[in-house]
Amino acid sequence: MATNDNTLDLSSLQTEAINMRANEIDKVSTLQMCTIINEEDRTVAASVTPCLQDIARAIDCLLPRVRRGGRVVYIGAGTSGRLGIVDSSEIPPTFAVPPSQFVGVIAGGDAAIRQAQEGTEDDPAAGMTDLMVLNLDPESDSVIGIAASGRTPYVLGALEYAKTMGCLTIGVVCVVPSVIGESGHADIMISPLPGPEVVTGSTRLKAGTATKLVLNMLSTGTMIRAGKTCGNMMVDLRASNQKLKQRSRNILRKLSKRCHCMTDASLDELLSRCEGSVKRALVVAETGLAMDLSTQRLQEADGDGSLRDITQS
């Protein structure tokens, strides 16, 4: 992709193309401007549809590793890195997994979360170094390299190192073909094509939205397959605030006939006995088993279907 040591040819990247539908966006009314942006955003979800088979394959590959306690490491620069950090930070409270299991890494370190550190993305060695400090376990850990342009050196270096280590590697990009895809460093490539941005090259827009949709599906799908929901109810949440406490009560009332008519106080007492675990409270309420036996049943079970079997037996 580089034409010489200092100049990059980005002309072939879909993310750098000029969007003719937004060519005069600076001349129209504010309402027209917003309409153009909105109409472009409507196309993003459809761009993910052709990637569903790859996303499903990635989930199926992530699942056994996550079940073994393996980490999922998101790594990227700029917007891509921040999106990885957002997704990784929201999984532990939603699905009660250890905070160390979903890890977000961004070029430039934590300072880059709030303030752009753009130059750091050009260093492939930095991507390798940032993964080395994590002491990756090739048998269990997985690395998701995120780069809208598909060519970010920092991400390329990280994926090359992770692949060499033997980890599962997944690339999330918004161009085809891509340097990452052609490098062979990613076991699975997920490449939505949301098309040119309303502001040329500003990949925090449609490419960022497409990336967010993909990451949402990867993490949520893996958690569903790991038995972290019953139906579409997040039975493994941890009630760390008032909203989540009420959601815990609502889930118990929805899924358990025995909990349906219980008062908030009674449900809170049940949850307290079960150390805040909605899933454990469901088993205790429906089966009448003691805490230790309920925990044992859950440990023996594997997935949503098994939880239903336990509570309905």
* Full pLDDT tens readout for the chain, 313 residues: 333 344 566 667 777 777 778 899 999 999 999 999 999 999 999 999 999 999 999 999 999 999 999 999 999 999 999 999 999 999 998 898 999 999 999 999 888 888 876 677 889 999 999 999 999 999 999 999 999 999 999 999 999 999 999 999 999 999 999 999 999 999 999 999 999 999 988 899 999 999 999 999 999 999 999 988 888 988 887 777 888 889 999 999 999 888 998 999 999 999 988 888 888 888 888 887 777 787 777 777 665 445 666 666 5
Asked if residue 180 lies in contact with residue 190, where contact means CB atoms within 8 angstroms, the answer is: no
Q: Are residues 207 and 289 in the same domain?
A: no
Q: Are residues 208 and 255 in the same domain?
A: no
Among the listed residues 187, 130, 175, 139, the one whose alpha carbon sits nearest the alpha carbon of residue 157:
130
Q: Are residues 74 and 211 in the same domain?
A: yes
Asked if omega into 98 is within 30° of 0 (cis), the reply is no
Gap between the Cα atoms of 239 and 278, Å rounded:
9
pTM of the model: 0.88
Instruction: State the pLDDT at residue 267.
Output: 93
In a domain, 234, yes or no: no
Instruction: State the pLDDT at residue 64.
Output: 96
Active site residues: 90, 121
Q: Are residues 246 and 141 in the same domain?
A: no
Gap between the Cα atoms of 133 and 146, Å rounded:
19
Residue 73 sits in a domain of what CATH number?
A: 3.40.50.10490
* Number of Cβ atoms within 10 Å of the Cβ of 287: 16
What would you measure as the largest C-alpha separation in the chain, in angstroms?
71
Instruction: State the pLDDT at residue 84.
Output: 98
> What's at 102, amino acid-wise?
F
Strand-by-strand arrangement of the 142-147 sheet: 102-106, 72-76, 142-147, 168-173, 188-190
Q: Are residues 137 and 43 in the same domain?
A: yes
Domain that holds residue 42: 14-225
Instruction: State the pLDDT at residue 288.
Output: 79
**Residue ending a domain, choose from 163, 192, 225:** 225
Q: Are residues 70 and 214 in the same domain?
A: yes
In a domain, 1, yes or no: no
Residue 271 sits in a domain of what CATH number?
A: 1.10.8
Instruction: State the pLDDT at residue 2.
Output: 37
Q: Are residues 47 and 124 in the same domain?
A: yes
> What's at 237, amino acid-wise?
L
**Residue ending a domain, choose from 225, 257, 280:** 225
Asked if residue 259 lies in contact with residue 229, where contact means CB atoms within 8 angstroms, the answer is: no
In a domain, 9, yes or no: no
Q: Cα dihedral sign for 262, 266, 268, 269?
A: negative
Q: Are residues 306 and 211 in the same domain?
A: no
- Assign 3-class secondary structure to the chain: CECCCCCECCCCCHHHCCCHHHCCCCCCCHHHHHHHHHHHHCCHHHHHHHHHHHHHHHHHHHHHHHHCCCCEEEEECHHHHHHHHHHHHHHHHHHCCCCCCEEEEECCCCHHHHCCCHHHHHCHHHHHHHHHCCCCCCCCCEEEEEECCCCCHHHHHHHHHHHHHCCEEEEEECCCCCHHHHHCCCCEEECCCCCCCCCCCCCCCHHHHHHHHHHHHHHHHHHHHCCCCECCECCCCECCCHHHHHHHHHHHHHHCCCCCCCCHHHHHHHHHHCCCEHHHHHHHHHHCCCHHHHHHHHHHCCCHHHHHHHHHC
Instruction: State the pLDDT at residue 3.
Output: 36
Asked if residue 147 lies in contact with residue 83, where contact means CB atoms within 8 angstroms, the answer is: no
In a domain, 265, yes or no: yes
User: For the chain, how big is the Rg over CA atoms in Å?
Assistant: 22
State how far Cα 197 lies from the chain centre.
23
State how far Cα 19 lies from the chain centre.
28
What is the domain count for the chain?
2
